[in-house]
Structure 1
Amino acid sequence: MRKIPGNQEHRAWEMGVEGYAVDVPVTGINNGKITLSVVITCIVAASCGLIYGYDLGISGGVTTMPSFLLKFFPSVLKKAAATKPNIYCVYDSQILTTFTSSLYIAGMFATLVASRLVKTLGRRNVMLLGGSTFLVGSALNGGAVNVAMLILGRMMLGFGLGFTNQAAPIYLSEVAPPKWRGAFGTGFQFFIGIGVLAASCINLAAAKHPHGWRFCLGLAIVPAAIMTFGALFISDSPSSLVERNKLEQAKRALLNIRGKDTDIEPELALLIRNSEMAKAINEEPFMTIFQRQYRPQLVIGMLAIPFFHQMSGINAVAFYAPVLFQSVGMGNDSALFATIILGMVNILSILVSAFAIDRCGRRFLLMEAGIQMIITEVGVAIVLALTTGTDGTKRISKGYAVLILVLMCFYAAGFGWSWGPMNWLIPIEIFPMKIRPTGQSVGIFVNFAATFLVSQTFLTMLCHLKYGTFLFYGGWILVMTIFAALLLPETKGIPLESMHTVWEKHWYWRRFVQG
C-alpha cells in the first residue's frame, strides 16, 4: 500500500481507494465557527423540508374531509355512515391509501435519477429542479377533477421530493461547521415539522368549506415557491463545486460560509485531494458501495436507518393522525386540533434535538427516545384494548381519547429528537465523498419504499390488527434501539473527511475496514 505523505501529526484519511491510504493536512480547518452566511445558507437549504412536511400534514387531513371523500372516494363515506361500524375499519380503502402512497412510488425512482444529477448539476440546482416539479404537482392536485389527475399530481410531488430530499441533506452536511453539523443537520427535520404544523392548521381552517380540500392541496405551491426562490440566492456547496472542477467558485463559496478572515486553504486542499482520489478510481458508484470496506455505510446508512425511520410508525401517524383521532372517538374538528397539538410537540422536540445532538451525541438520543417510544406505543395499545373491545365496536370516552393524545405526544417528542433528524444526518455523515450522492440516493430509495409500505398498509393493519398495530410498531422500535446500542458508532464532532476513524475503533465494523 502506498501513502501520500502529509502532516504526520494531524491527518485525515480517505479510505476505500484500493492501493492507497492518503494523509492530508487538516490543521487550521474551521471546526466550529458559525458565520451569518452559513446560517442563512443552511436555513435556505433546510427549507426544502417544508414541502415534505406540508405534504405529510395535508394529506391526512384532506382524506377526512367529507367533500373530498364524496368526490373521489364515496365508498368510504358510506362505510362511515354505517349504523355500528368497526371504529378501526372506517377508512380502510386501498384506493384511498393509493392517493397517499403513490407519491412515494414516484419518489423512489426520482431519487435514483437524482444521485446522478447531484453530481453533474450540483446540489443547489437539484433543489431548484425539485421545487419546480413540486409546484407542478401542487397545481395538478389543487385542480384535480378525477382520481387519475389526483394521483398524477401526487406522482409529480413525489418527483419533487425525490430530488430535494436527495440534495438538501447532503448540502447541509457539506456546508455546516463539523462541530455543529448535528445542529445544522436537524434544520431539515425542523422545517418538515413546520410544514406538518402549518398543514394541520390549514386543514382545520378549511375543513368545513365545500372546496376546502382544493385550497389545502393547491396551497402546497407556497412552501414550494419559498424554497425554490430561496435556492436561487445561494451558491452550491464547496464539495460539489470542487467535484465539478469549479475551483475558483469553490474557494469563493468556502470563504463566504467560513468567514473572510478564516484560512480556508487547508479545507479546500482536503476537498480537492479527496475529489481527485475519487475520480482517479473511475469506478461505478453503485458497484463501489458493495465493496467490503463500505459494508458499514451500506448496512447503516443505506438500509437500516432509512428503513427503521419508517418502521417506527411515525409517518403512519403523520399521514393518518386525523383519521386515527376520529377513529377513537373525536369529532372532525377535535381530531384536526389534536393533530395540531401533535405537530407543535414535534417542533419543540426538534429544537431540543438541535441543542442536544452535538452535546449528548447521536447514540444516546436514539437509545433514550427508543425506550420512550416503546412505552408510549404499548400504552396506546393497552388503552385501546381496554376501551374499544375486541371487535372494535365500542366508542371510547373523550377522557381516554385525550389520554391517547397525550401518549402520542410523548411518542412524537421522542421521535422528534432522535430518529427524525438522525435519518437525514447520520447517513450523510458516514458516506465518503466518492459515494455520498449514491449512498444518499439508495438510502432515500429505501426510505420511500418503506414509506410506501407503511402508508399503503397502515389503515388495513388498523382494521385487522386493531390495537395490535401499535404493538407491531413498538416491536420494531425495540429492534431499532438494540441496533443503535450495538452497531451504531458515535459520529458527533468528527469531520466528514475523517469519519473512517469511527469504523476503525468499532468492535464490529473494524473487521471490514481493516480486513
Structure 2
Amino acid sequence: MAVGLAVASEGGQYNGRITSFVILSCMVASMGGLIFGYDIGISGGVTSMEPFLKKFFPEVYDRMKEDTKISNYCKFDSQLLTSFTSSLYVSGLVASFFASSVTRHFGRKPSIVAGGAAFLSGSALNGAATNLCMLIFGRVLLGVGVGFANQSVPLYLSEMAPPRYRGAINNGFQLCVGIGVLSANFINFGTEKIEGGWGWRISLAMAAIPATLLTIGSLFLPETPNSLIQRFNDEQKAKTMLQRIRGTADVEAEFDDLIKASLVSKSIEHPIKKIIQKNYRPQLVMAIAIPFFQQVTGINVISFYAPILFRTLGLNESVSLIMSALIAGVVGTASTFLSMLIVDKLGRRVMLLCGGVQMFVSQIMIGSIMAAKLGDHGSIDKGYAYFVLTMICIYVSGFAWSWGPLGWLIPSEIFPLEIRSVGQSIVVAVNFIFTFIVAQTFLSMLCHFKSGIFFFFGGWVAVMTAFVYLLLPETKKVPIELMDRVWRQHWFWKRIVDEFDEKTKMEPA
C-alpha cells in the first residue's frame, strides 16, 4: 500500500518567477490574516482584564474576587463570557457563504474589501461599547469581516503564487495571523496598566488599524487571472495579467490550463450540488476534515483563553498577559515564519506528521503535570507552573509551523476552479463551526474535565496524525489547475475517483 504517494509535479513546465508585483499584492491581501489574528489575541487578553469583567460580566468578576471554595478550574465558567468570544464565529459562518457567491461572481478583490470594511465597523462599535448588546453586535460585525477575509484571501494567495512557491506565499496568511496575535497580546499588556479602567477600550478599538490597512490596500489589488477567466470572456485581459504576475510573456502552458479549467467552471451552474458528486469526494472530505482537525488540536484554548489559563495556574494578571504575549505571539510567529521557509522543500505531509507528534507529546505532558500538581484549590508550585509554560511553548510551536498554516494552505490549493469558491466557503464554515463550539464550551469543559482537557485534545491530535499518514497525498509544487492527479494516484482516493469515471463512461450520452 503506497501511503501518501507523492505526485510528480509539472510546475516546472510553467515559466515565470516571483515578481515584486506579486509580493506586494500578496502582502496586502495577507493583512486579512492580520485582522483575524488581532481578534484572536485581543479577545483572550480583554476577557481577563478586571475592569472589562466588572463592567460587562460582573458575576465572573465577583466569583474571581471572592474567597470561596470554587474550583480553580471553574472560576471563569460563564456562558455570557464565552458568548462574547464565540459570537464572532456564528456571524463568520453565515458570512462565509455569502462571500462564496461574491467571490465567484464578482471576484476575490470585492470580498477582501468587504471583509476589511465590516471588521472596521465592528472595531469602532466594540471600542465605544456601553452595554453587552452593543459589545456582542460589534463582535458580529467583526465576524462578518473575518468570514469574508478568510474565504477570499487564501484563494487569492494560491491563485497569484507560482506553483513552486505557493506554499511559502500562502503561509504568509498564517504569518500575518501570528503577527496579529503577537501585536494584540503586547497591546493588551500595555493597556492593562492604564489607570482608570478604560484600557480595554483601546485594545478593542485598535483593531481598526489593521482593518483600515486591509480595506484601503485591497482597493488597489489586481484580480487573479483565474478569476478574470472565470467571470469574463476577455481572455486577453486575463493573459495580460498572468504575464504581469509571472514576469514573462511566455505563459502559454499555464494559460492553457487556466482556459481548460475555466471552460469546466462555466459549465457548472450549481457548485454546491457539484461538490457532493463522487469525483469530488476527496476534496469534500478534506474541506471538512482539515479545518475540523485544526480546531480540535486545542489551539484556541491557548489563543482565546491563555491569560485565563495562566491565572488558573496561579499567576497574577500582569504575568498572565505577558506570558500570553510571549507564548502565543513570539513563539507562534517565529514558528510560522519557519514554515514559510521549509513548506515547499519538506512538503505538506512531513510537516503535518512531525507537528502532530510534537503537539501530542506536549499535550500529554501538560495534562500529566496539571493532574498531579494542580488541585481544585490553591496554586501549583512555580517550578511546575513554568514547566507547563515551557510545554505550552512547544505545543504552540508545533501547531504554528504545521497545522496552523497548512490548515489554510492545503484546502485553498486542492479544489478545481469550478468548485473552488464554494469549497473554500465549506472550509471556512467548518472552521468557524468548530471554533465556535470550542470557544463556547472550553471554560465549561475546563471546569468539568479539569486537567483531562489536555488528554482530550491530545487524543484528537493522535487521530488526525493517523488521518494524514493514511489519506492525505502530497501536494507541494503541483500546479493548482492540475491538482486532480494527486487523487487519481493515491492508494485510496483513486478507487473512488476511478469508480465515478467508469460509471460516467457507462452512462448513455
Distance 1:225 1:465, change over 3 A: same
More helix by share: 2
> What does 1:398-437 align with in structure 2 at a 5 Å threshold?
398-437=382-421
SS in structure 2 of the partner of residue 307 of structure 1? helix
Q: Is the contact made by 1:53 and 1:193 (CA closer than 8 Å) also made in structure 2?
A: yes
Equivalent residue number for residue 49 of structure 2: 65
Partner residue of 2:260 out of 231, 251, 273: 273
Deviates more, 1:77-86 or 1:58-67: 77-86
Opposite residue 57 of structure 2, the aligned amino acid is: F
Equivalent residue number for residue 235 of structure 1: 222
Answering whether residue 97 of structure 2 is matched by residue 112 of structure 1, we say: yes
Distance in structure 1 (CA, Å) of the matches to 2:223 and 2:474? 28
Equivalent residue number for residue 330 of structure 1: 315
SS in structure 2 of the partner of residue 249 of structure 1? helix
Q: Is the contact made by 1:131 and 1:225 (CA closer than 8 Å) also made in structure 2?
A: yes
Equivalent residue number for residue 251 of structure 2: 264
Q: Is the contact made by 1:27 and 1:266 (CA closer than 8 Å) also made in structure 2?
A: no
Equivalent residue number for residue 22 of structure 1: none
Distance in structure 2 (CA, Å) of the matches to 1:153 and 1:27? 47
Q: What stretches of structure 1 move > 4 A for 4+ residues in a row?
A: none
Q: Kindly indicate whether structure 1 or structure 2 has the higher relative contact order, using CA contacts under 8 Å at least 6 residues apart.
A: 2
Partner residue of 2:463 out of 468, 479, 483: 479
SS in structure 2 of the partner of residue 514 of structure 1? helix
Answering whether residue 305 of structure 2 is matched by residue 320 of structure 1, we say: yes
Equivalent residue number for residue 496 of structure 1: 480
Distance in structure 1 (CA, Å) of the matches to 2:172 and 2:379? 40
Equivalent residue number for residue 337 of structure 2: 351
Q: Is the contact made by 1:378 and 1:470 (CA closer than 8 Å) also made in structure 2?
A: yes
Please report the TM-score for the alignment, with normalisation by the length of structure 2: 0.93
User: How far apart are 1:63 and its partner, in Å?
Assistant: 0.3
Partner residue of 2:116 out of 118, 125, 131: 131
User: How far apart are 1:35 and its partner, in Å?
Assistant: 1.4
Q: Is the contact made by 2:151 and 2:428 (CA closer than 8 Å) also made in structure 1?
A: yes
Answering whether residue 378 of structure 2 is matched by residue 394 of structure 1, we say: yes
Deviation per residue, 1:34-62 (Å, 9 max, x gap): 11111111111111100000000000000
User: How far apart are 1:121 and its partner, in Å?
Assistant: 1.4
Distance 1:368 1:233, change over 3 A: same
Equivalent residue number for residue 16 of structure 1: none
Equivalent residue number for residue 180 of structure 1: 165
Could you say what the CA RMSD is over the residues aligned between the two structures, in angstroms? Answer: 1.5
Deviation per residue, 1:305-337 (Å, 9 max, x gap): 010010101112100011111111111111111
> What does 1:71-110 align with in structure 2 at a 5 Å threshold?
71-84=55-68, 85-110=70-95
User: How far apart are 1:27 and its partner, in Å?
Assistant: 8.6
Deviates more, 1:221-230 or 1:169-178: 221-230
Distance in structure 1 (CA, Å) of the matches to 2:384 and 2:237? 59
Please report the TM-score for the alignment, with normalisation by the length of structure 1: 0.92
Opposite residue 225 of structure 2, the aligned amino acid is: P
User: How far apart are 1:358 and its partner, in Å?
Assistant: 0.8
Equivalent residue number for residue 466 of structure 1: 450
Deviation per residue, 1:388-431 (Å, 9 max, x gap): 12xx1130122222111110010011001110011111011110
Deviation per residue, 1:266-301 (Å, 9 max, x gap): 322321221112212x3411111110101100101x
Q: Which runs of 5+ in 1 are unaligned?
A: 1-9, 13-25
Answering whether residue 237 of structure 2 is matched by residue 249 of structure 1, we say: yes
Opposite residue 497 of structure 2, the aligned amino acid is: V
Distance in structure 1 (CA, Å) of the matches to 2:150 and 2:40? 14
Equivalent residue number for residue 211 of structure 1: 198
Identity within the alignment, %: 48
Equivalent residue number for residue 19 of structure 1: none
Distance 1:387 1:109, change over 3 A: same
Distance in structure 2 (CA, Å) of the matches to 1:130 and 1:417? 26
Q: Is the contact made by 1:387 and 1:394 (CA closer than 8 Å) also made in structure 2?
A: no
Distance in structure 1 (CA, Å) of the matches to 2:466 and 2:183? 34
Opposite residue 195 of structure 1, the aligned amino acid is: G
